[in-house]
Structure 1
Amino acid sequence: MIEQANLRIWGDTIKGGLLPFAILMLVILMVVPVPATVLDIGFIVNITISLAVLMVALNAAKPLDFSAFPTVLLLATLFRLALNVASTRVVLVNGHQGPGSAGHVIEAFGTFLIGGDYIVGIFVFAVLMIINLVVITKGAGRVSEVSARFTLDALPGKQMAIDADLNAGLITPDEAKARRQEVATEADFHGSMDGASKFVKGDAVAGLLILFVNIFGGLVLGTVSHGLAIGQAAQTYVLLAIGDALVAQVPALLLSIAAAAIVTRVSSPLDLSGQIGSEFGSARAWGPVSGILCLLGVLPGMPHFLILSAAAITATICWARMRAAKAKRDYVAPIEDPEPEHLIQWRDVSDPAPITLDIGYGLIDMVDDRQSAPLMARITGIRRQLSRELGFVVPMVRVKDDLSLPANAYRIGIAGVTTGEDEVFAHQLLALDSGDGLDLIPGHAVKDPSFGLDAVWITPDRRAEAVVAGYTVVDASTVIATHLNGVISGSAAELFGLDDSQALVDALKESFPQLAQALTPQPYSLAAITTMCRALLAERVPLKDFRRVAEAMIELAGRDMDQAALLEGVRQRMGALIVQMIVPIKMPLPIITFDPELESLLTQSVRTGPNASWPFDPDLAARIVSAVSEAVQPQLMAARSFAIVTSPICRAALSRLLRAQLSEIPVLSFLEIPETKPVEVIAMIGAQRAQAALAQRGPGQHPFESGEE
């Protein structure tokens, strides 16, 4: 194992050092004289690299498949220019010795390809330069410039589209991150290609200038230094210069073609040959071609054999494509054997979506993209707002149609449990009567699913009438979204899990690493942190200030406390935040308290069963709920924020007791209210009943045992 690790380290080191070594060798090649044999090897390597780059470019399905092309183009251009510098030195120094003095590759290009005639070589080189510089390089440079401009202009729109898909729940955060990275890479690539096209153009111009330097320098050196006649010097040096130029120009032409192929490439699942083949595979394209060639082939003076042969070939292609199209139309897919009934998979018995919204077929327009999907936009806004309020990322809501539901019904599920359902009408409006309605308006009378208010479904043309009558009018998507908001808020504890705890701890590590280290894995495990967070969420205490939760847990870690006592301790240290959620900082806290005798009875019941989830006698519990409901009703009708305050001993038990019917009312202990926060006692539960019962009860009998309501 150690030897394999060492070999892997050495391999990575060598691989990482290859590129710097190659760059260093390029510089040495430009400065240090090299023999003709090294030049021959360099020219062959240059041609090989150019061919490889061209093949990779042609096989790329989209430009980003060859994202390293701008850098590869730069390195290949530098390599070719280094070879030009080295070959110029060899040609000028050893050119008087004959065509073979500069190496076999230059000699082959100067003699075989142009027949040894330097006049022909000049014209061949000129034609290649025109093709490369005027046609390919100029066109590729223009396409690169336009592509870079359009890509940068479209960048904000693409980013907004990714954010919209993420907020709508169509993609996961990891997919959104990958798509953002792809968009950024695409912009960088096209920007780099815009500059890299200048390398290609500059390389072509440099080849032309190097040719002139070699010819002029060869004529001067041949006649002055080596005593050659002007004709002999021209025959020797011009031939070598042309061979050297052609050796460099052929790879340059290949790279120019590769650059043009990359920048003109349109994204497709196929490579370039496959895309062209699929697009030229229509029989309707080859039929007219064959007919026109037949007409040309029978005209007098035309090469009948060649043109008619071409017509026969195109007619054969047309016939073959027609047969292929017919076979594809007549193809019947084989009927797959149904899955054996005894094979049951996990997807058949589990649903990974923690939040589901099932709708009847009459509500499908509300989630249809062609109808702007108003419900999806509202759900996205709800998730974003609740995530900020609760302090963790609310899971995505899976919306699907359910044929078992009535047409206008919907059903909300949390972790597979139905927590809300009702009926809405997609093309009507709901008029809510908040108590200020002046007149009754005709419509379908219902109860609002979120607040239980009297409401009426009306047609859109009665909207103005309902508003004038004092009703609050909302559309169907708002009704569902508001109901979903309340269900998610009340079920935050069920939605929070170990992964969310880990995310909170990871975020804490980034900002407060020492605090996170002191929190977990000791003294608290991730499961213990999750339990605490879920207990806080169950009592509507948000986790957006998780730092304060962590500090409170660490402070209480040294004490021998059970989970319930730990929760109370954390709440006491978060009292300022809890109170601030109820009333603003400059307002006194309205509170409802209990009569001292009733408070004493509650405390005694809790101390009698300290570990019981429901320590109160059932009859006493019913009387408490009834009395609290009666006391808070005026405050609820006035839409006033307030809290029920009791002793720390019985706060948790009383909160559990009232949560079923009065879940929106916070239950605080005296120790959770900051000392600097003024309070206003707006009601006292049990005082009047105690006074009325004192005269009737017997010795030792408590007022709540007298049987009075």
Structure 2
Amino acid sequence: MKIKDYLVLVSVIMIVVMMVIPLPPLLLDFLIMINISLSLTIILVAMNTKEALQFSIFPTLLLLTTLFRLGLNVSTTRSILTNQDGGQVIETFGSFVVGGSAIIGILVFLILVIIQFLVITKGSERVAEVAARFTLDSMPGKQMSIDADLGAGMISDQEAKKRREKVSQEADFYGAMDGASKFVKGDAIAGIIITLINILGGLMIGVIVHKLPFGEAAKLFTLLSIGDGLVSQIPALLISTAAGIVVTRAASEGNLGTDITRQLFAYPKMLYVVAGTLTLFAVFTPISPLLVFPIAGLVAFGGYKMQRTLNAEEEEEKEASSHDGQELEGLKSPESVVDLLHVDAIEFEFGYGLIPIADKNQGGDLLDRVIMIRRQCAIELGIVVPVIRIRDNIQLFPNQYVIKIKGNRVASGEIMLDHYLAMSPGIDDESIEGIATVEPAFGMPALWVNEEMKEEAEMAGYAIVDPPSVVSTHLTEVIKKHAHELIGRQEVKSLVENIRENSPAVVEELIPNLMAIGEVQKVLMKLLKEKVSIRNLLVILETLADYSSQTKDTDVLTEYVRQALSRQITLQYTNPNEALQVITAGASLEKKFAESVHRTEQGSYLSIDPEASQTIFQKISEQVTQLQQSGVQPILLTSPATRMYMRQFVERFAPDLPVLSYNELEPEVEIQSVGVVNISGGVGSFS
């Protein structure tokens, strides 16, 4: 603990001690002045805060100052009743401030108490209560707004955390102020009771104990008690006012003084009306003109000066509005329509029935899942997924959702929030009852089962998935499938600049001397289209730098890059200690493709007659179907020379079928050919 921490602890302990141990009058004078100084400091700080949270310690400080003030009351009461002396400060307030009159002192004291108790304290208490209620009611909306901004990528995780903490602190502050205002109210009541006790008790002690005449005892103890009440209630009044200022302050750009002068005197012409009204008082009433005319003249002069300042500001605003008007005219021009043509890269729209999955206050965690999806795609694919725009769409069915890529619908689905998706292990159990459906991400048959049937389905071996996981899995697979559409020249430039920071040599050699950004983009798109991660971008750029001087054909350069990423591709499709089962392209099929390649100045392309295409399609489809039925992922293995042409042919009817070449697999990988595809001689049998 630091020294200031010990000082606070010692101060609180001393407040309790001063209630028990008698203090000399000199020390009481010192503590009373400390109390007045502290109250003045608090009200000045309250006036200069821009928003309530800048003085978040105020509720606790209010309690401590109240305790300090009550401790002083106990000590001064003991000193007055015991020694007939409360110190110089109390004596001054009892004699000089109220003119030595007990009746005047009592009246002044009662007025202060009434002002504090009925006006300031009661109003502050009500404002704090309403502010606490409205702050708590608005918390869900504020949290949803923060979550929406975070999911849309408009703010970072740190900013979202900071804003959530501020919302929580506001609720805690106004709730604490609602309770702390009760201390102020109780302090006002205690002040009245303590003063009455001092007067009555002092009168009894003065007459009975000190044998003073009744009149002398009444005057002495009444003045001392009134002085004690005044030195206690004036700081209490200041702190009550500070509490009212804090709870009534709305967040603004300035402090209280700035806001008052800017808003109260916003209409200088009204000051002329005030000056004229004061002049009428001087003319038609007995009030002395010598008193009224200087004040009226001062008010009129102030209005004149503020009017000149306001006119100057209006001239500046006119110039600014003229400039804004020119900009507005520019917005009306045909070129401004370009701003309306922006299309979000990825959109997720859902019907109103699915709002709970996006509303965090209803237990929805879709926004958090979207953040994890973007991180997962960055790790697995090596790309920065653009901001995913999430919005509800009343045109959709209540339980329907739609995924759009660059404004076009690419996927959709329907989920049931009060059910679970149960996917069969391969053998259906007739005892499991549910609503038949299709798993949207992979197209597998499934059932929507309720909470009661969930446990039975799990016991039967069904894979149980909750609705938010169904949506996030579908969204992830759609992003992976269309990743090549999400990487444009600007995104590639950002990725390249990131590499330039650590490996500037390869970037300076390749771009723009050997390849342009657009050509690098084409290579990366081809890799992503076949689900090859581009996270190892440094190896990709170095390979392009090695071979781009030999050829500008991006298809050929992509093949070189794939071979350079052989270890990555091998790990992607193989399992440890297991042979890689593949469908092999036979010699006749390889020859057919080699003969069907036509090379021109613009590049090479594949041209196969329709009859041969149909035959090849049927034989590859048979092999793929047999492997899928046996639970093995089908992979087509071919030679490096024909791989890219084989891929171009296959993607028309089997876009998800991986086509690999021998050079893309590491030498130590054990390859097991489970089928051979030939043009002549039929389809090779399984081995």
TM-score bin, normalised by smaller chain: 0.5 to 0.7
Contact 2:52 2:246 in 1 (8 A): yes
Contact 2:348 2:388 in 1 (8 A): no
Q: What amino acid maps onto 2:126 in structure 1?
A: R
Pairing partner for 2:60 from 71, 74, 85: 71
Map of 2:584 onto structure 1: 594
**What SS is found at the alignment partner of 1:282?**
coil
Provide the C-alpha distance between the structure 2 equivalents of 1:659 and 1:34, rounded to a whole number of angstroms.
Answer: 97
Shift of 1:122: 1.0
Asked if residue 286 in structure 1 is aligned to residue 277 in structure 2, the reply is: no
Pairing partner for 2:658 from 656, 661, 667: 667
Shift of 1:284: 3.2
Contact 2:117 2:185 in 1 (8 A): yes
Shift of 1:687: 2.7
Map of 2:553 onto structure 1: none
TM-score of the aligned structures, taking structure 1 as reference length = 0.57
What per-residue deviation string (whole Å, max 9, x for no partner) do you get for residues 389-433 of structure 1?
Answer: 87257554499xxxxxxxxxxxxxxxxxxxx999x8xxxx9999x
Q: What amino acid maps onto 2:105 in structure 1?
A: G
Q: Which ranges of structure 2 fall in alignment gaps of 5 or more residues?
A: 321-333, 351-357, 359-365, 379-383, 390-403, 412-476, 499-524, 535-563, 592-602, 661-672
Contact 1:631 1:685 in 2 (8 A): no
**What SS is found at the alignment partner of 1:645?**
coil
TM-score of the aligned structures, taking structure 2 as reference length = 0.58
Asked if residue 687 in structure 1 is aligned to residue 671 in structure 2, the reply is: no
Residues 431-470 of structure 1 mapped to structure 2, 5 A cutoff: none
Q: CA RMSD in A?
A: 5.4
Asked if residue 318 in structure 1 is aligned to residue 323 in structure 2, the reply is: no
Provide the C-alpha distance between the structure 2 equivalents of 1:660 and 1:271, rounded to a whole number of angstroms.
Answer: 72
What per-residue deviation string (whole Å, max 9, x for no partner) do you get for residues 201-222 of structure 1?
Answer: 1111111111122122212222
Map of 1:267 onto structure 2: 251
Contact 1:30 1:86 in 2 (8 A): yes
**What SS is found at the alignment partner of 1:289?**
helix
Map of 2:328 onto structure 1: none
Provide the C-alpha distance between the structure 2 equivalents of 1:485 and 1:563, rounded to a whole number of angstroms.
Answer: 19
Contact 2:80 2:86 in 1 (8 A): yes
What per-residue deviation string (whole Å, max 9, x for no partner) do you get for residues 621-673 of structure 1?
Answer: 999xx97995389979x99996863499999x96998499849414399xxxx
In structure 2, the CA distance between the partners of 1:204 and 1:383, relative to structure 1 (3 Å rule), is closer
What per-residue deviation string (whole Å, max 9, x for no partner) do you get for residues 424-464 of structure 1?
Answer: 8xxxx9999xxxxxxxxxxxxxxxxxxxxxxxxxxxxxxxx
Pairing partner for 1:237 from 221, 233, 243: 221
Asked if residue 568 in structure 1 is aligned to residue 552 in structure 2, the reply is: no
Map of 2:160 onto structure 1: 176
Q: What amino acid maps onto 2:52 in structure 1?
A: P
Map of 1:93 onto structure 2: 82
Shift of 1:38: 1.5
Asked if residue 303 in structure 1 is aligned to residue 293 in structure 2, the reply is: no
Residues 465-504 of structure 1 mapped to structure 2, 5 A cutoff: 487-488=482-483
Provide the C-alpha distance between the structure 2 equivalents of 1:217 and 1:83, rounded to a whole number of angstroms.
Answer: 18
Asked if residue 132 in structure 1 is aligned to residue 116 in structure 2, the reply is: yes
Shift of 1:26: 1.2
Shift of 1:73: 1.1
**What SS is found at the alignment partner of 2:679?**
helix
Pairing partner for 1:17 from 6, 9, 23: 6
Pairing partner for 1:252 from 236, 246, 257: 236
Pairing partner for 1:215 from 199, 206, 210: 199
Provide the C-alpha distance between the structure 1 equivalents of 2:184 and 2:627, rounded to a whole number of angstroms.
Answer: 72
Q: Which ranges of structure 1 fall in alignment gaps of 5 or more residues?
A: 1-11, 96-100, 336-358, 400-419, 433-481, 501-533, 544-561, 580-590, 602-617, 670-680, 694-709
**What SS is found at the alignment partner of 1:102?**
coil
Provide the C-alpha distance between the structure 2 equivalents of 1:639 and 1:103, rounded to a whole number of angstroms.
Answer: 103
In structure 2, the CA distance between the partners of 1:194 and 1:431, relative to structure 1 (3 Å rule), is closer
**What SS is found at the alignment partner of 1:593?**
strand
Q: What amino acid maps onto 2:120 in structure 1?
A: I
Map of 2:667 onto structure 1: none
Provide the C-alpha distance between the structure 2 equivalents of 1:366 and 1:633, rounded to a whole number of angstroms.
Answer: 46
What per-residue deviation string (whole Å, max 9, x for no partner) do you get for residues 283-330 of structure 1?
Answer: 233232233333333214343333333322222122112211222234
Provide the C-alpha distance between the structure 2 equivalents of 1:120 and 1:334, rounded to a whole number of angstroms.
Answer: 61
Provide the C-alpha distance between the structure 1 equivalents of 2:178 and 2:645, rounded to a whole number of angstroms.
Answer: 67
In structure 2, the CA distance between the partners of 1:646 and 1:82, relative to structure 1 (3 Å rule), is same
Asked if residue 631 in structure 1 is aligned to residue 607 in structure 2, the reply is: no
In structure 2, the CA distance between the partners of 1:53 and 1:421, relative to structure 1 (3 Å rule), is closer
Q: What amino acid maps onto 1:27 in structure 2?
A: V
Provide the C-alpha distance between the structure 2 equivalents of 1:47 and 1:80, rounded to a whole number of angstroms.
Answer: 10
What per-residue deviation string (whole Å, max 9, x for no partner) do you get for residues 65-89 of structure 1?
Answer: 2111111111111111111111111
In structure 2, the CA distance between the partners of 1:273 and 1:396, relative to structure 1 (3 Å rule), is farther
Map of 2:173 onto structure 1: 189
**What SS is found at the alignment partner of 2:98?**
coil
Q: What amino acid maps onto 1:23 in structure 2?
A: V
Map of 1:328 onto structure 2: 313
Provide the C-alpha distance between the structure 1 equivalents of 2:615 and 2:183, rounded to a whole number of angstroms.
Answer: 81
Contact 1:60 1:66 in 2 (8 A): yes
Provide the C-alpha distance between the structure 2 equivalents of 1:70 and 1:219, rounded to a whole number of angstroms.
Answer: 38
In structure 2, the CA distance between the partners of 1:239 and 1:668, relative to structure 1 (3 Å rule), is farther
